[in-house]
Amino acid sequence: MRALINILLLSGLFIFCNKMSGQTTESPKKDSIESKSPNSKESKFAPGEFMLEHITDKHEWHIITFGKTQISIPLPIILYSKISGWNLFFSSKFKHGTKAYNNFEIASEGSNKGKIVEKFGENEILPLDLSFTKVAFSLFLGSILIVIIFISVAKKYENNPNKPPKGLQSALEPMILFVRDDIAKPSIGDKGYEKFMPYLLTLFFFVWFNNMLGLIPIFPGGANVTGNIAVTMVLAIFTFIITTISANKHYWQEIYNAPGVPWWLKFPVPLLPLIELMGVFLKPLVLTIRLFANMTAGHLVGLAFISLIFIFSSMNPYLGYGVSIFSAIFSVFMLLLEFLVALIQAYVFTLLSAIYFGLAIAEPHGAERHH
Amino acid sequence: MLTILMILLDATAGVAKLGAGLGAGLAAIGAGIGIGLIGGNFMEAIARQPEAVGDLRSNMIIAAALIEGAAFFAMIVCLLILFL
């Protein structure tokens, strides 16, 4: 029950933060590697735009395009504009970004490119966009998957406490014990680690599952969830909040009034406390960027190999055939590497969070020793 | 000499992309050297004490991920130059 509430809270916060940065993640401000011909009906392959389309958040879930027809899953769009109030409709009304609906449309050029704008006369106004986008939908899918798997495993343990584990239990038990024995206990200590175990377990499996789901090229995977900076920022903010709440007096003392530091570094200009304060905020920021950059870079590399095929085949079809063999092999290799990176990034995020928790509740070493 | 400078100044948009490309390449070199050093020391340590492989391996992975984090900062800045 508590796990369910936790995951729902997490998802709610993600959607919120996604709106805040969904305004900025959807559009490239200028397409640098775009084809220059103005009448490109049968458009030349634009690798920059191709890559950005697969990384950023969208209002519909595009599955496949057969020539002219495009199959995609429409997602609800929730807008609040100061002029026309709340609007709720499906993204199929936009006909993949070509038509306007109720004065709303997806801007195709200008500074608001890719975002939903409201046309009021000649001006374009950005409404408050709280839509259920592709990343939010994938977040929920991932969370529902995690909830189903773990609640069913927990029930099996509750109902048969003395039976040996089998099936899904035996797959998950080593990972759960790994988080407890190799991440939580060494970093936090043998006494205080239990309070943080639910959060660490949720974090580890959430990041791992969403990383893996992002590697599946087709629905229901393939939305770049952990490569969205809003998502990773919210995870880092959670770590920061838990560290701050559970920190004891010794932790704050080490930061702002460290013993053994000469007095002229703290007064009149508190140089060392300022640097330490920057460090306090820098740690969650680094967590954010590490996970975001790793996942985005992984996707970009795979997409770059695929783009190579199209770039070469536009020069000469036979060159395209040759490159596609080489590209396919390298893409598979990068995909296998990305599986490893998915696990490693989940491990590093959880390990660093555990280390920060351990630092926060650490007792001063040796009450009788002062530096 | 001055005319060359004038010609170079005319190409400022291209120079920005050149900077981005160089930056990303240098970041990759930095990450490569860093992780290479760690890998090398890992091999030496295994040769000295093969039964400690498990501990050494997990610490190597952690250090490699942290170094890659630093290299990714540079990569993100270069991507921002290209696309913003």
How does pLDDT run along chain B (84 residues), one tens digit per residue?
788 888 777 777 788 889 999 999 999 999 999 999 999 999 999 999 999 998 899 889 889 988 988 898 898 889 888 877
Same domain flag for A190 and A163: yes
Residue A29 pLDDT: 36
Note whether A128 and A138 are same-domain residues.
Answer: no
A333, part of any domain:
yes
Is residue B63 included in any domain, yes or no? yes
Cα–Cα distance measured from residue A104 to residue A88, given in angstroms and rounded to the nearest whole number: 11
- The pLDDT of residue A38: 42
Residue B54 structural domain? 27-84
Mean pLDDT for A312-337 is 90
3-state secondary structure A58-99: CCEEEEEEECCEEEEEECEEEEEECCCEEEEEEHHHHCCCCC
B59: contact with A, CB 8 A cutoff: no
pLDDT at A214: 92
Q: How far apart are CA A287 and CA B77, in angstroms?
A: 16
**CB-CB: which of B61, B76, B84 is closest to A344?**
B61
> Please, what's the b/e burial string for B1-28 (b: 16 or more CB within 10 A of its CB; e: otherwise)?
eeeeeeeeeeeeeeeeeeebeebbeebe
Residue A106 tokens read as: 């997806």
Q: Where is the domain boundary, A69, A103, A132?
A: A132
Please check whether residues A234 and A353 belong to one and the same domain: yes
Residue A16, in any domain of the structure: no
What is the domain extent for residue A246? 134-360
Q: How far away is chain A from the Cα of B1, in angstroms, using its nearest Cα?
A: 31
Domain boundary among A88, A107, A132: A132
Give A52's contacts in chain B (Cβ within 8 Å): 83
User: What CA–CA distance (Å, rounded) separates A362 from A250?
Assistant: 7
pTM of the predicted model, to two decimals?
0.83
- Alpha-helical segments (H) within chain A: 2-25, 47-55, 134-159, 168-178, 185-188, 197-215, 229-246, 249-256, 271-315, 317-360
Strand arrangement, sheet containing A128-129:
A85-90, A76-81, A128-129
- Assess if residue B2 is contained within a domain: no
Where a domain ends, among A109, A132, A155? A132
**CATH number of residue B82's parent domain:** 1.20.20.10
Number of domains in chain A: 2
Q: Residue window 86-125, chain A: list those with CB within 8 Å of chain B.
A: none
In a domain, A225, yes or no: yes
B68 to chain A: which residues are within 8 Å by CB? Answer: 290, 294
Which of the four pLDDT bands, split at 50, 70 and 90, describes residue A33?
A: very low
A231 and A355 housed in the same domain: yes
The predicted pLDDT at position A17 comes to 53
pLDDT band for position A31 (50/70/90)?
very low
Query: B47 to chain A nearest CA, in Å?
Result: 24
Both A157 and A127 in one domain: the answer is no
Number of domains observed in the structure of chain B: 1
For residue B62, list chain A residues with Cβ-Cβ distance below 8 A. Answer: 347-348, 351
CA dihedral A86, A234, A190, A143 (to 10 degrees): 60
Q: Do B58 and A182 touch (CB under 8 A)?
A: yes
Rounded to the nearest angstrom, the minimum Cα separation between B71 and chain A is 9
Which one of A55, A294, A303, A343 makes the best mutation probe of the B interface by having the most chain B beta carbons within 10 Å? A294
Residue type, A60: E
Q: Are residues A218 and A346 in the same domain?
A: yes
Q: Is residue B12 part of a domain?
A: no
Please tell me whether residues A123 and A152 are part of one structural domain. Answer: no
Instruction: For chain A, say whether B75 makes contact (Cβ under 8 Å).
Output: yes
All residues of chain A having their beta carbon less than 8 Å from the beta carbon of residue B61 are 344, 347-348
Angstroms from A349 CA to nearest CA on chain B: 10
Residue at B47 is within a domain = yes
A211 part of contact set with chain B, CB < 8 Å: no
Which of B56, B66, B72, B73 has the most A C-beta neighbours within 10 Å, making it the best mutation to test the interface with A?
A: B72
Cα A302 to chain centroid, rounded: 18
**Taking CB atoms and an 8 Å cutoff, what residues of chain B touch A351?**
62
**In this complex, which of B65, B73, B83 lies closest to A348 when CB atoms are compared?**
B65
Indicate the residue of A30, A293, A347 with minimum beta-carbon distance to B72.
Answer: A293
Cα A228 → chain centroid: 4
Report ipTM (2 d.p.): 0.80
In a shared domain, residues A208 and A113: no
Q: Are A231 and A14 in contact (CB under 8 A)?
A: yes
- The strand pairing partners of B3, in sequence order, are none
Q: Give tens-digit pLDDT for A66-78.
A: 888 888 888 888 8
Residues A180 and A282 placed together within one structural domain of the fold: yes
Say if B65 falls within a structural domain.
yes
Same domain, A109 and A138: no
Mean pLDDT, rounded, for A325-340: 92
Cβ <8 Å between A294 and B61: no
Q: What is the mean pLDDT of residues A174-201?
A: 91
Position B50 in a domain: yes
Question: Which positions ≥6 away from A81 have C-beta within 8 Å?
Answer: A87, A104, A118, A125, A127, A128
pLDDT tens for residues A273-293?
Answer: 888 889 899 999 999 999 999
**Cα-Cα end-to-end distance for chain A:** 47
Question: Distance (Å) from the C-alpha of residue A20 to the closest C-alpha of chain B?
Answer: 18
Please report whether residue B13 resides in a domain: no
Residues 39-58 of chain B whose Cβ lies under 8 A from any Cβ of chain A: 58
Residue B58 lies in a domain: yes
Q: What is the pLDDT of residues A108-153, one digit of tens each?
A: 777 777 788 877 777 777 888 888 889 999 999 999 999 999 999 9
**Dihedral Cα A233, A235, A239, A244, nearest 10 deg:** 50
Q: Are residues A78 and A202 in the same domain?
A: no
